[in-house]
Chains A and B, each alone.
Chain A
Amino acid sequence: MKLREVVELLNAKVVSGEAHLDAEVEYVFASDLMSDVLTIETDNLLLITGLANLQTIRTAEMSDISKIIFARKKKATDEMIRLAAENDMILIECDYSMFKTSGILFQSGLKPVY
């Protein structure tokens, strides 16, 4: 699925990296715990998180994750957007809960990591 469809399905808003909207997504991981994110070995992952701080972006950078959805109305700060842009990431803000966000994407065929 293309990220553009993900954004439409979630009624979400892209706040950084619009140029990546045509990128393909296959696997998704949802967590607020960055320690968990750092243990995932799957490549080309979309991360759903409710944790919106600089360490979310740093964690994604180290884990080679370039697609992040902030669920439950969490907003990316300017500093996060700057760091995300430096690392060629797309940041998406979504008003749905983590459960609803995950549920919609799962139902649409995106796959879990485990």
Chain B
Amino acid sequence: MHFEFNVEGGNFSKAGTASSQLKKILKQLNVDPKVIKRVVVALYEAEVNIVAHAYNGVIYIDIDTEKIEIKLIDEGPGIADIELAMQQGYSTASPEVREMGFGAGMGLPNIKNNTDELRVTSEVGKGTTVEMITYLNG
């Protein structure tokens, strides 16, 4: 199964709609609630990252009997030092993002905790791609 969602940078009122849709889909597919929570928490963190940092992005989701594969591709400023961004507590979030309850430098580490495989690639001035895989029987 394949799904695609567009994400608007800066639009906090819509942040989380893709994650919400995925949660409904996975529930309908009778996926283990523990797996659902891990997947949607990881996706929500990544979706909020696009809203908080990028201009726009697209989320591609592929579900088969073994795994859920999610790719988020954004157009935005990119990440200069991915290793630094992966460190807990490091954040470049704006005051607006912090007012929404985020921007504490916990997103990427939490995505890592909630996925089986995670790959982040980025080009400064162009954008960031986040790929995450969660196995259904992991």
Query: Is there contact, CB below 8 Å, between A61 and B16?
Result: yes
Q: For the side of the interface on B, what is the size category?
A: 20 to 34
A55 to B, closest residue via Cβ: B100
B127 within 8 A of A: no
Interface string of A13-43 (1 = CB under 8 A from B): 0000000000000000000111111110100
Query: Is there contact, CB below 8 Å, between A35 and B104?
Result: yes
Task: Give complex CA distance A112, B126 in Å.
Answer: 44
Query: Is there contact, CB below 8 Å, between B106 and A36?
Result: yes
Q: Can you spell out 21 A-B residue pairs with CB atoms less than 8 angstroms apart?
A: A33-B104, A35-B110, A38-B41, A38-B44, A38-B106, A39-B106, A39-B110, A39-B113, A41-B37, A53-B12, A54-B15, A55-B15, A55-B48, A55-B100, A55-B102, A58-B15, A58-B19, A58-B20, A62-B19, A62-B20, A62-B40
Please count how many residues in chain A sit with their CB below 8 Å of the partner chain's CB atoms. 21
Which A residues are CB-close (under 8 A) to B104?
33, 35-36
- CB within 8 Å of A: which B40-61 residues: 40-41, 44-45, 48
Task: Give complex CA distance A34, B100 in Å.
Answer: 8
Which A residues are CB-close (under 8 A) to B45?
35, 38
- CB within 8 Å of B: which A56-90 residues: 56, 58-59, 61-64, 79
